[in-house]
Structure formats: structure tokens, C-alpha cells
Amino acid sequence: MSYQEQRSVLTMASGVTIFIVFFLLALPRFHALDPAVLSDGTAVLRWGAGAMLVFIASSIVIRILLMILFSIFYRIISGEEPPEIEDERDRQIELKVNHVAQTLFILGFVGALVAVRIGASPVGMLLVMAISGVISEVVGESTRIVLYRRGF
């Protein structure tokens, strides 16, 4: 498995793990909210937006740390330096991966709007958006692995 493929697997695994851990941490806090807050749609949306911002910020920090550790372990285990340059093939694959991931995320965004329209709560809408983000990342990184392995 090449450096890029290993990095994709790590990105997928960490994305799913961070989401599950965050969800498990946020769920009891949501249930512990004051009933007055829970009955106010705007307040619930504000709480959900805050939780999502914390999720996004912590994901970025954890990812950066994981990638640094991955580069260090890759050097030690494989005895090779991680590729320092990004060439034309990497850029073409990146474009295709972004296209797949963005399409899925947009579908998730539309799905979130549909969910609200048919009666989901504001937190339900944010949850649909977050799940679509995780799915788009998993499918995008899977696409990257396929493109690196099979060519295009």
C-alpha cells in the first residue's frame, strides 16, 4: 500500500472515529439541556451550531496531529521518506476526489433541508449534514484509493 493509500485509510478511519466519539460525547449533553432550551428552536439550533463548530475545530486539530505522527511512523516503518512533491497525477486524483466528495456533501445538504421540511428538528438537520460530511469523506477517500490502485 502506497503512502497516499495509507494516508487515505487513516483519514477515513479517523474521520469516522472522531465523529462517533464526538456524537457519543454530545448526546448526553443534549439530553441534559434545560427543558426551556429544548422547547426553543432558536436556542437548540444555537447549541447545535456551537457543537458542530467544536466538532469541526477539534477534527482539524486531531487530523493535523495524526498526519504528523503518521509521517514520523511511515519514515520509521517503511524506511522511506514521504513524497515531498505533489505531481500532475496527484493533482488529477485530488480533483476527482473533491468532485465526488463535494457532490455527496451537497446531496447531504439538500437532504438536511428536506429533513427540516418534513419535520426534523434543527439538531436533526445538523446531524444529517454532519453524517453527509463523514459519508462524503469516506467515499471520497475510497475513490482516491481506487484511483491510485487501478489508474484512470
2 near other proteins, rule: CB under 8 A: yes
Decide if 10 contacts 70 (C-beta within 8 A).
yes
Whole-angstrom distance, CA of residue 114 vs CA of residue 85: 42
Helix, strand, coil percentages (3-state) for the chain, rounded to 5, are: 85, 0, 15
- Contacting residue, 67, 90, 116, 135, with other proteins by CB under 8 A: 90
- Contacting residue, 21, 46, 75, 152, with other proteins by CB under 8 A: 152
DSSP 78-131: H-SPPP----HHHHHHHHHHHHHHHHHHHHHHHHHHHHHHTT--HHHHHHHHHH
87 near other proteins, rule: CB under 8 A: yes
- Contacting residue, 76, 88, 117, 118, with other proteins by CB under 8 A: 88
Smallest separation (angstroms) from other proteins to the CB of 104: 19
Smallest separation (angstroms) from other proteins to the CB of 146: 8
Q: How far is CA 44 from CA 24, 100, 112, in A?
A: 18, 32, 16
Nearer to other proteins, 82 or 124 (CB): 82
119-148 residues near other proteins, rule: CB under 8 A: 148
Decide if 124 contacts 1 (C-beta within 8 A).
no
Nearer to other proteins, 1 or 65 (CB): 1
Smallest separation (angstroms) from other proteins to the CB of 11: 17
- The span of 51-59, 86-94, 108-116, 135-143 binding other proteins (CB under 8 A) equals 86-94
Name the site residues for other proteins (rule: CB under 8 A): 2-4, 83, 85, 87-90, 148, 150-152
